[in-house]
Chain A
Amino acid sequence: EAGVAQSPRYKIIEKRQSVAFWCNPISGHATLYWYQQILGQGPKLLIQFQNNGVVDDSQLPKDRFSAERLKGVDSTLKIQPAKLEDSAVYLCASSLDGGQGQETQYFGPGTRLLVL
């Protein structure tokens, strides 16, 4: 079974530029998550989708971050404009349903972003 795919794997940009990340979840998984992992910290949930609806975006900095999940499959996360503190690894994960707490989340390899 194919895992969660993410691209690009690495990105370097200047502050105030924009950047977008792409995620393709495991086939059939209804729920998709975007996490931000700053160096030395654990992953922090930015946004959770169930199918193409947003379940939780309480920690998404909405003045500069946006995310969409068209047709309930692939998702993109965008940052515009980027700040130095956005340097982090952006992890995408998916789970089969998302309505039950014991479900396993499967993580992609992440996109490492460096903002200069």
Chain B
Amino acid sequence: AQSVTQPDIHITVSEGASLELRCNYSYGATPYLFWYVQSPGQGLQLLLKYFSGDTLVQGIKGFEAEFKRSQSSFNLRKPSVHWSDAAEYFCAVGGAYGNKLVFGAGTILRVKS
């Protein structure tokens, strides 16, 4: 069965500092991987996705993520965090067919000025 682990429940970074959010997945075949962001009272917005090709994917708002098959990881990074990035971030894994997504429990990002 698919599963996603986000080890960090909360992360606090200073504005302008770099960010890395961790995601580990379990999936029996080639995974399709996603990062979503959820601001308070809002739905989820897709940041980026990986399903094939270059293992470093670029997303919106300056985010990127790297797929590492050997480590079953898909960590999200941003070189310089802005206060508006404060939100909850979800990693998700899906398969090739049917589009069913399994989400991690999320990481809440706080940005201090």
Contacts and interface: CB of A to CB of B under 8 A. Distances in A.
B101 to A, nearest CB: 7
Contact of A102 (B44, B49, B102, B106): B49
B45 A107 contact: yes
Interface residues of B, number: 26
A70 interface: no
A41 B41 CA distance: 15
Given A91-B43, A91-B44, A107-B45, A100 B97 contact: yes
A20 interface: no
A40 interface: yes
A101 B51 contact: yes
B84 interface: no
Interface of A: 3-4, 31, 40-45, 48, 55-56, 91, 93, 95, 98-110
